[in-house]
Structure 1
Amino acid sequence: MKKVLLAVAILVAGLTANAQEVNFGAKAGVNFANVSGEDVEDNITRTSFNVGAVVEFEITDKFSIQPELIYSAQGAKLEEESDIDLTLKLDYLNVPVIAKFYAAEGFSLEFGPQVGFLLSAKAKAKIGGDSGETDIKDEFETVDFGLNFGAGYKLDSGLNFSARYNLGLSNVAKESESSVKNSVFQISVGYFF
């Protein structure tokens, strides 16, 4: 994790030297998260949230780079029967580095890599009126790599909106015979100070 944060710090320092303008901001939104894989069947999207800080480096009028530091609640609902509800709760500290191409005034297309650090992993079971939660962090990889695709709109006031899909590239399950990957669609609202 130290190497990744050092790489991001070097990237930020280099971008600051070349940027026309630097904007600091915060964002929060809703996640529609899931996991995919051969061993994962009958899973349902888990609705959760994301919140974090962003820095936009405007390189030109049409192009900027936006590193982010985002807490993201992910996972999936694995089964939903009449009286059984199982939820996989994966919480990450994600560090995406987004390239933003401004196609029109305020409207951007977004693409970029992401590294995520697993903060916690829990399995929550609810059967009838009873429920319980178990820590399963040791069953998951601590680092997850992904790609982000999306679009955003920024108002002159600093208020901004984005919709983004995060495609997980890494197998996050340590001992699964097949690959299990994260999949998250995010809708966020932010503000540049």
Structure 2
Amino acid sequence: MKKIILSVIVAFCSIFTVNAQDENVITNTEVSYGVKAGYNSFVARASADGNSVSVDESGFYFGIFADFAVSDKFNIQPELQYVVITGDGDNGNVLVVPILGKYAVSEKFNLLAGPQLDYVLDDDAEGLKRLGVGLALGLAFDINENFIIDLRYSLGISNRLDIDDDDFGDQDVKVKFNYVQVGLGYRF
């Protein structure tokens, strides 16, 4: 598990170190970096044959991001977040990597959309797949040149249940993770 986490961090950090050293490859690319933190709501939803049940827990997140200008209206914003989920006296820890397209509706207002990976860091995640894929959608508002507020929803796409289908007979059982985040970011 430590090798996977280290690999994700190294890969993500290499994205952050990309700059315009080779003008033949990257020309006129604006890149900004920042940190963010905020509230996180986690929803685990289990469904089987038309019936579903959800568990909602809250917590917080903090992380880093980069913002690569692709055009006047479109940026790519990869992030690396550490999410803490608290509930029933226990904490859950998740590493979240959204890679968002950011479309500028106006000078200060942006729409966000893109894939999101999440990796459960806890050793007691028995019966669950650690790695999941989701689709993140959100809004971001630039308060000023440095401060950003954003609101995001991530819909889990992949089934996180890691149990043989034979255990449930002919029922189609799925577990998906969804996230809602409200955060404040600081761009350097």
SS where residue 140 of structure 1 aligns? coil
Give the alignment of 1:44-63 within 5 angstroms: 44-63=55-74
**CA apart distance, 1:50:** 1.0
Contact 1:18–1:59, Cα closer than 8 Å, also in 2? no
In proportion to residue count, which structure has more strand? 1
Q: Aligned partners of 1:14, 1:53: CA distance in 2, in Å?
A: 15
SS of aligned partner of 2:185 = strand
How far apart, in 2, do the equivalents of 1:68 and 1:19 lie? 22
Stretches of structure 1 lacking an aligned partner (at least 5 in a row): 78-85, 122-135
* Structure 2 partner of 1:153: 141
TM-score normalized with structure 1 length: 0.75
- Counterpart Cα distance in 2 of 1:189 and 1:150: 13
Instruction: Give me the whole-angstrom Cα distance separating, in 1, the residues matched to 2:120 and 2:98.
Output: 14
SS state at 2:121 partner: strand
Relative to 1, partners in 2 of residues 1:38 and 1:87: Cα closer, same or farther, differing over 3 Å?
Answer: farther
Pick from 31, 49, 52 the counterpart of residue 22 of structure 1.
Answer: 31
1:186 alignment counterpart: 181
For the structure 1 residues 157 and 35, does the alpha-carbon distance in structure 2 shift closer, same or farther, using more than 3 Å as the test?
same
**Percent identity between the two aligned chains:** 28
User: What is the TM-score normalised by the length of structure 2?
Assistant: 0.77
Query: Which residue matches 1:131?
Result: none
Q: Does 1:33 align with 2:28?
A: no
2:120 counterpart of 1:118: yes
Q: CA deviation at 1:73?
A: 2.7
1-structure distance, mates of 2:120, 2:112: 24
* Runs of 5+ unmatched residues, structure 2: 21-25
Residue 141, structure 1, aligned to residue 129, structure 2: yes
The number of residue pairs the alignment matches comes to 170
